[in-house]
Amino acid sequence: MSILDILNDRQREAAKQIEGPVLILAGAGSGKTKTITHRIAYMIKELGISPYNILAVTFTNKAAKEMKERVEFLAGEDGKRVMLSTFHSFALRLLRIFGDRLGYSSNFTIYDVDDQKKVIKDIIKSIGRKDDKNLKERDIASKISKAKEDKITPEEFESLHQYDNGKIVAEIYRRYNSVLKNNNAMDFSDILVNADKLLDLKDILSKVQEKFIYIMVDEYQDTNKIQYEIVNKIASKYRNLCVVGDENQSIYGFRGANIENILNFEKDYKDAKVVKLEENYRSTSVILDAANAVIKNNKSSKDKNLWTNRGTGEKIIIEECNDAREEAQYVAMEIIKGKATGKRYRDFTILYRTNAQSRMFEEKFLRENIPYKIFGTVSFYQRIEIKDIIGYLSVINNTDDNLNLNRILNVPKRKIGDKTFEKIENFAKDQNISIFEAIGRAHEIGDLSANLKTTLLDFYNMLKDFIILSEQMPVSELYDEIVKKIGYKDYLTSSYDDYENRIENIEELKNSIVELEKVLENMTLRDYLENVSLISATDDLDGEKDYVKLMTIHNSKGLEFPVVFLVGAEDELFPGAKAEFDPKEEEEERRLCYVAITRAEDKLYITYANSRFMYGQIDNFRSQSRFIREIPTQLVMTNKAEVKPKPAIRNSYDNSGFKKMITIDDLNKRAKDFPYSKGEKVLHKKFGMGIVKDVNDKKVTINFVDGTKEIAMAVADKFLTKA
């Protein structure tokens, strides 16, 4: 009996094609992971190919972990020897081994987006442009990353951007590269760019090619220019390249993903074998028919047609709501009804186009006591208290990491300000030593008080002790030593009103370290920091915990849910306004809709509102998304007479004929009553039970046990529930 017997005909055809280039066009829910993992096991167990010669790359830790587990189950111990990782993890392995060829030591630090912004902010300040509102750290970080991934140098960037601050951004780009190199640090773009540079060195490329004779790439439609070049350089010798993907799920163009990579694979490899996987095992035929109908409007689609044996299923429910608050009310009530019929909260997922849409649902779920979790907003690892502890660990691993050194120097408070750090920096430059070494020689730095010199030396010696301990004990025990030695819990208690939540967070960090130690045998500090740096927005999604999941459609890719609410399906929101003027933008938005629809297993709701706050104003003339109108009417059910655009109000035009935007103040003046009344009991998240003393359109005044508090009406719903 063959390992491949369990596959369907098309999957088996794809898995059996081992030699030469292969393109597997795998539709949503068509069992691509099953096909890939059985293909690898077949290569090892039945064809006798060495697992050490197989490289398989994907995009998320979650996907890589699932694939590893399946391969190990199918191929046993040999399965553990396959290099199966994310693109960034693979690139990091190359850089840890060969990074010295580019001037990096093996313990380099990886900077995340917040770290990038901090470096850029300091550079803007140093060149005297700190008050320039046109220089936003996040925008500049994005431009630098894009330039790196497109192999554009600072000099080329300057010549390509003669206007729009091109010269100053190019200078920031130059200095940014210099800071990272001096700190022995890389950002996420550097990881791929530098790995690609290593493969330009013939001796290294030859070693990599001889090791990885068979290459598989998952989610090929999401590859960018650098990833494309890395893959094709390694594959160029033996040409045993198998790429798996779905052009209809290419939704990361804004991150640099190039759909042309998958569309042009047959041009790049004219002898490629092409196999389409079209049988879907996830969704009902109603859901698939809707997805097929929407995506066929894209010119970039390769004419796949998803089908299933699961049965017809329930019709898609289209719900028209007056406004976003009613939309949240409708979704909450449907969840409550579903719960009453035996469903669990974890069966329900809400997908939206932008993170800002989650607020109404959060407020409503709090009122209705519906447990929920939001994925992909503020990452656990971006919280201040987590960044502090990770900062200590990063400096212990890499003492050249001046960004994190500056962060922890005054955490907890040591009365070390920016001016002191500037003096340390100047001393380090004068002596041609690192800032860490300069702190260790604080007694030589003039114009510092005796107390400050002692504080700096104590800090230096403490870190030296931690470095020694990091080589002798597990990361979890090192964590304990750091938290205890610096008195971090006491610091949180004295510094933050919500200290209890913050202490819970750092305790959860300890749990994450212990869990990873169980998975990675003999995990080093460097191993841990590397894993933390590559965590994605939905890696902590736990299918067993009973809560409603809320996330953007982008974050839902690769996942599946029994019941999906696709909310905010209105033109100018989904698709966004740019789609009106850019056909490529409209096609990517349509692919995003296809992804959203195909996340649903059993039931799909699509909601839209006639009125919604947008950019601080209310638009009373919303219309349902064009994507709704692309779904055949026989597949949908609605409480309204028909599915078509229908504005809520038609009597608020100004004399010029343009839409009149109603402001928040207008609404307050028109309000007949307020959400709270005098004498009413309310419950505040922080202050506890209280009684409303006074209320108007600006604020609500409440008597609590600890005194009277005034809460702005605009944010009252976030903190108050009626008792």
Measured CA to CA in angstroms, residue 411 lies from 207, 406, 490, 498, 528 at distances of 45, 9, 12, 17, 22
Q: What pLDDT sits at residue 542?
A: 59
Instruction: Report the chain's C-alpha Rg in angstroms.
Output: 28
The pTM is what?
A: 0.76
Q: What is the pLDDT of residue 642?
A: 44
Question: pLDDT (tens digit, 9 = 90+) per residue, 428-487?
Answer: 999 999 999 999 999 999 888 999 999 999 999 999 999 999 999 999 999 999 999 999
Active site residue 218: yes
Residues 282/29, Cβ–Cβ less than 8 Å: yes
Question: What CA–CA distance (Å, rounded) separates 356 from 352?
Answer: 9
Please pick, among 13, 137, 196, 218, the residue that the annotation labels catalytic: 218
Residue 338 in marked binding region:
no
Judge whether 429 is annotated as a binding position: no
Instruction: From the candidates 33, 153, 638, 721, give the one annotated as an active-site residue.
Output: 33
Question: Does the annotation mark 219 as catalytic?
Answer: yes
DSSP, collapsed to helix, strand or coil, labels residue 410 as coil
Q: Which of 683, 715, 681 is nearest to 698 (CA)?
A: 715
Report how far residue 274's alpha carbon sits from residue 59's, in angstroms, rounded to the nearest whole number: 22
CA distance 122 to 403: 10
543: pLDDT confidence band, cut at 50, 70 and 90?
low
Ligand-binding annotation for 450, yes or no, is: no
* b/e map 425-444, b = 16+ CB within 10 Å: eebbeeeeebbbebbbbbee
Query: b or e along 445-476 (b: 16 or more beta carbons within 10 Å of the residue's beta carbon)?
Result: beebeeebeebbeebbeebeebeebbeeebbb
Per-residue pLDDT reduced to its tens digit, 162-198: 776 889 999 999 999 999 999 999 999 999 999 999 9
Q: What are the b/e assignments for 493-505, b being 16+ CB within 10 Å?
A: eeeeeebeebbeb
Q: Which of 13, 219, 530, 570 is catalytic?
A: 219
Does 617 qualify as catalytic in the annotation?
A: no
Q: Does residue 688 have a pLDDT over 80?
A: no
The rounded Cα 295 to chain-centroid distance in angstroms is 25
Could you please report the per-residue DSSP string of 56-120?
A: EEES-HHHHHHHHHHHHHHHGGGGGGSEEEEHHHHHHHHHHHHGGGGT--TT-EEE-HHHHHHHH
Find out whether 30 is annotated in a ligand binding site: yes
| 33 labelled catalytic | yes
- CA–centroid distance for 317 within its chain: 29
Using alpha carbons, select from 281, 273, 473, 307 the residue that is nearest to residue 393. Answer: 473
User: For the chain, which domains are there?
Assistant: 9-99+193-277 (3.40.50.300), 110-183 (1.10.10), 307-378+544-639 (3.40.50.300), 381-536 (1.10.486.10), 664-722 (2.30.30.140)
Our answer to whether residue 221 is catalytic in this structure is no
* pLDDT score at 723: 65
8 A C-beta contact, residue 601 and residue 565: no
Answer whether residue 651 shows pLDDT above 50. Answer: no
Catalytic residue among 249, 284, 329, 624: 249
Q: Average pLDDT of 619-629?
A: 90
Q: How far apart are CA 674 and CA 715, in angstroms?
A: 14
Per-residue pLDDT reduced to its tens digit, 489-537: 999 998 888 888 889 889 888 988 888 888 787 899 998 998 887 775 5
First CA to last CA across the chain, in angstroms? Answer: 65
Distance between CA atoms of residues 186 and 184, nearest Å: 7
For the chain, what is the largest distance between any 2 Cα atoms, rounded to a whole number of angstroms? 82
What is the mean predicted confidence (pLDDT) over 121-147? Answer: 88
Cβ count within 10 A of residue 94: 19
Does 484 carry a binding-site annotation? no
Q: Is it the case that residue 660 has pLDDT exceeding 80?
A: no
* H-run or E-run covering 228: helix 225-235
Q: If you average pLDDT over residues 125-143, what whole number do you get?
A: 86
Q: Does the annotation mark 249 as catalytic? A: yes
Among residues of the chain, what percentage have pLDDT more than 70?
91
The active-site residue out of 276, 590, 599, 612 is 599
- Among residues 10, 12, 17, 32, the one annotated as catalytic is 32
Confidence of residue 233 (pLDDT cuts 50, 70, 90): very high
Higher pLDDT, 581 or 179: 179
DSSP H or E run through 322 = strand 316-323
Q: Is 32 annotated as a binding residue?
A: yes
8 Å CB contact between 309 and 511:
no
